[in-house]
Structure formats: structure tokens, C-alpha cells
Amino acid sequence: MTEKKDTQVKKVAIICAKASIEDVYATLVMANGAVMEGMEAKVFFTFFGLDAITKKQMNKLHTATVGNPGMRMPGGLPFPTLLGAIPGVEAGVSAMMRSQMEKLDIPPVDEFLDMITAGGGEIYACKLAMDMFKLEKEDLSDQVSAVITIGDFYAMAGGEGSQIIFT
């Protein structure tokens, strides 16, 4: 008789390496969803993803207008990459995106981090990226548990029933 293994995901480890609105919110939504489903959730912010947990930048994120194949204009037409290079267009598109999110009652980044940690999720910053960008722990959201190496994060992220997600 063969014993069935439990294949249910019990732990997620999410790595966020980009600071665009769409990348950061994908990370936050997945982490929050995991804690709401009773999963263990650990989130690691590295390279430009650090903007999402840096006090000065976390609520000022932008959406990428240049080279974003998923960007559409009203009516569904592709957004011309050339338009994204015009001064003010990225800021306008980002403001529109934040407005749409506000209408859906999607919280700003700092509140999302509070929700994740209140649900038991853990937030980490990458030591290498912190060193590269000359950031200190004090520059980060109070919700950041620690500044760690990727090796430390992988050690925490492993185990049976775990998934690593890169956004």
C-alpha cells in the first residue's frame, strides 16, 4: 500500500526584485492571501524591490510605461512605448493606477505591510542590495523583521510543503 503525501502548500517565500506598482502589489497581494489562508509567508525584498519597504519611497511607486507589453490605453489598444518617454506620462499613468486601486479599496503599501505582518507574515530586506544602495535598517519600514542574505532567506524558505515565488 502506497502512502499519499500531503501536497498542499503550507509555506510561501516570495521574492520581490522590482519596484513598479504592478510588481510590488503582486507580491503584497500574494503574501496577504497566503496569511489569510493560514499559510506561513515570508517576503524578501531585493534590488529595486527595496523601494517597496523604504520609508521614503514605499508609497510613491510608479508603473512602468516604457517597454511594458501589458500596458493598454482606454479601449484596449496597446500603449505606444514612445508615449512613455514623454515627461509626465509615467506620473500620470501611475496616478491613474493608484486611483483605480483606491476605488477598489486596495490599501497603500505601508498598510499592506501592516496587514501581512499582523497576520503572521514576515518581511525581510536583502543585505547585498542594502549595501549596494547604502541603506540602513532605519531607512526601512518598521515592519521589516531583519536584513538578511539570500542564503539566510533560502534556509528559512525551505522545507516540505513550501513554494518560492519570484515576482
Q: What is the pLDDT of residue 123?
A: 98
My answer on whether 143 and 165 are in the same domain is: yes
Residues 55 and 3 placed together within one structural domain of the fold: yes
Mean pLDDT score, 52-71: 85
- 46 and 68 housed in the same domain: no
Q: What is the pLDDT of residue 5?
A: 57
The C-alpha atoms of residue 99 and residue 76 are separated, in whole angstroms, by 19
- 128 and 162, same domain (yes or no): yes
Q: Which segment of 24-38, 79-93, 153-167 scores lowest on mean pLDDT? A: 79-93
Residue 159 and residue 78 share a domain:
no
- Global confidence as pTM: 0.86
CATH at residue 116? 3.40.1260.10
Shared-domain flag, residues 115 and 160: yes
Asked if pLDDT for residue 129 goes beyond 90, the answer is yes
The pLDDT mean for the chain works out to 89
Tell the residue number behind the cell numbers 519611497, with chain if given: 57
φ and ψ at 44, to 5 degrees? -120, 120
Asked if residue 157 and residue 82 are part of one domain, the reply reads no
Do 44 and 85 have their domain in common? no
Q: Which residue has the higher pLDDT, 159 or 101?
A: 101
Question: Is the pLDDT assigned to residue 4 strictly greater than 80?
Answer: no
Ordered strands of the 40-45 beta sheet: 144-148, 122-126, 40-45, 11-16, 162-166
Between residues 12 and 90, which one has the greater pLDDT? Answer: 12
**In 9-108, alpha helices (H):** 21-36, 81-84, 89-103
Model confidence at 115: pLDDT above 90: yes
Looking at the structure, tell me whether residues 40 and 89 fall in a common domain.
no
The domain in which residue 84 lies consists of: 62-107
115 and 89 fall within a common domain: no
Specify the number of domains making up the chain.
2
